[in-house]
Amino acid sequence: MRVHSWLNKVRPTVFVLTDGSGHGDRGRIGSTADVLTSAGAAKGSIFGRLTDRQAYELILEHRTEELKGLVRELADGLEQLRPAYVLSDAVEGLNPVHDLCCVLTVAALELLFSRFAIRVDHYEFVLAEAPAARRSKNEDTIFYRLSDAELQRKLDRARDYAELRPEVDSALAAWGEEAFRLEVLHPVKSPRSLQEIVGERPSYEAFGARRLEEGVYSTLLQFHQHFEPVASSILEWSGAIRPLP
């Protein structure tokens, strides 16, 4: 929904890692499919493959081989599609599954280059911040400024997405409707280290600790203990970053 106008203009093939079920049992992949269909976009081979719980378990249990399998599948899909560029979630430290999507994309693009000699540009968009929160002077940044009609269609479609309505209302309350007139695609540089991708300790640890106290979570997913070694293993394996000496 953050890049709804871009979605309608480009009509991309969309790969989706999880079904959006969160800590519950009901996913929202059907609603996502409806949005893509109405925009004329296509579904990729990976489309709601995991529940959010399963994705968390892969990280918590350091099951990197299964994640590498997803990277290979994504690289194969990109080899067939030969896209002009790839757009993924940004790493924001708010949701480990969103951050994992970016890590898997970086690894798949590196694998695409090493296996097929195909270099594809990588862009990202924010989900937890205001759309233009990351000020970029990079000339490769892509901006979409929506017309009044495009903005209204975007807002109407977002409000119609029932499972996301609380998040939509919260974002509109925080930044107002006008903030979503701009859709910004930030170029992702080829990383030299894990920290260039994942940054500092994320905020999802504090959120997870509260959920643990409330009894919603049974285990706390931590950056240094869980996410960092998994991400490092995948990125080193793909060749996106060099292993530490």
What confidence tier does 194 reach under pLDDT thresholds 50, 70, 90?
A: low
- Per-residue pLDDT at 16: 98
What tokens appear for 168 in the block?
């939509």
For residue 87, give the 3-state DSSP assignment.
strand
Cα separations in angstroms, 105 against 85, 88, 102, 179: 12, 7, 5, 27
- Per-residue pLDDT at 93: 86
The string of pLDDT tens digits covering residues 28-54 is 999 999 999 999 999 999 999 999 999
Its pTM stands at 0.91
Would the pLDDT of 245 be above 60?
no
Rounded mean pLDDT, 63-71 = 98
Cα separations in angstroms, 145 against 20, 51, 108, 150: 28, 34, 30, 9
218/148: higher pLDDT: 148
Q: What percent of the chain has pLDDT over 90?
A: 72
Q: Cα–Cα distance between 57 and 199 in angstroms, integer?
A: 22
Architecture of the domain whose range is 4-238: 3-Layer(aba) Sandwich (3.40)
Give the amino acid at 159: R
Give the amino acid at 153: R
Listed residue (218, 216, 243) closest to 232, CA to CA: 243
Rounded mean pLDDT, 15-33 = 91
Listed residue (226, 128, 242, 125) closest to 194, CA to CA: 242
Domain boundaries along the sequence of the chain: 4-238
What confidence tier does 192 reach under pLDDT thresholds 50, 70, 90?
A: low
Highest-scoring range by mean pLDDT, 130-139, 197-206, 207-216, 233-242 = 233-242
What confidence tier does 221 reach under pLDDT thresholds 50, 70, 90?
A: confident
Least confident segment among 81-90, 135-144, 228-237: 135-144
Strands of the sheet with 182-187, listed across from one edge: 85-89, 121-125, 182-187, 142-145
Rounded mean pLDDT, 128-132 = 85
